Structure 1
Amino acid sequence: MKTQRPIISDDEHVVLKFRPRTSAHPPGGAEEPDPAKALNSKTLGSNKTPSTLPAASDLSRYERPRDEGDDFRHRMLANVAALAFTVALTAIGIWLAVSIADLRKTQDCVLMGRRDCARISVTPQG
């Protein structure tokens, strides 16, 4: 029995040149044309050339202006609230684990047929 292979054209295979990151080529400068970008722009019907595509490393649009004040008080209150929530969640988790272990121990005792399974708390009388 013959196995069928898909027909693959040479247009689908592109060898990309490896370019290590160095300070000799600063980001946003003149770049060599990238065959993959050229192929994508052809297949998508775009008329942009690789040199007119926006630089991916430009993060200036995410920067905040320096004159905008940092709300330190609000940030610290948020941190304290997050810490209190984490501590409360951890304490509830520990209490739940101890309670489940205690119930399991009592249930195992009852299922073994013992009669003295109830915990009796002894308080000193004075």
Structure 2
Amino acid sequence: MKNQQPIPSEEEHRVLEFRPRTKSSAAARRGLAGQAPGKNAPLEPNDLSRYERNRDEPDDFRHRMLANVAAFAFTVALTAVAIWLAMSIADLRKTQDCVLTGRRDCARISTPHF
């Protein structure tokens, strides 16, 4: 059998020139990125300044701590449910394996303690 390999073309093996970013090229890109295609009116710049808080505002530590406590309680509850579910599935698998092997004494029988 003959080995078939693709024929390389000139476009496939092209070396791209690396141009480091400079302040002037970044500003030019920002100016071009802020304009809508086909319109002359510039849009908002693509930065995160609209999400920044005013530095004069004090932090709300009480709200932050309540949010942290709520997140921690949710994480603990989720972990507890996951552990309970994993143990239940393991117990069911063990019982199912016992039944499928043909044994009859697979079920747990709880006896009262006097």
TM-score normalised according to structure 2 size:
0.60
Query: Structure 2 matches for 1:22-101, cutoff 5 A?
Result: 22=22, 24-25=23-24, 28=27, 31=28, 40-41=37-38, 46=39, 48=40, 53-54=42-43, 56-101=45-90
1:21 corresponds to? 21
Runs of 4+ in 1 over 2 A off after TM superposition: 18-22, 24-28, 31-34, 52-63, 118-125
In 2, distance between residues paired with 1:25 and 1:55? 19
CA spacing shift, 1:111–1:78, aligned 2, 3 Å: same
Q: How big is the alpha-carbon RMSD for the aligned residues of Structure 1 and Structure 2? A: 3.7
2:98 to 99, 102, 109: 109
1:6 corresponds to? none
CA spacing shift, 1:21–1:123, aligned 2, 3 Å: farther
Answer whether contact 1:106 1:117 (CA < 8 A) is retained: yes
CA spacing shift, 1:119–1:100, aligned 2, 3 Å: same
2:11 corresponds to? none
Deviation at 1:120, TM superposition (A): 5.3
2:12 corresponds to? none
- The AA in structure 2 aligned to 1:61 is R
CA spacing shift, 1:110–1:122, aligned 2, 3 Å: same
Residue-by-residue CA offset, 1:66-106 (whole Å, 9 max, x unaligned)? 12121111101111110111111111111111111101211
Answer whether contact 1:27 1:57 (CA < 8 A) is retained: no
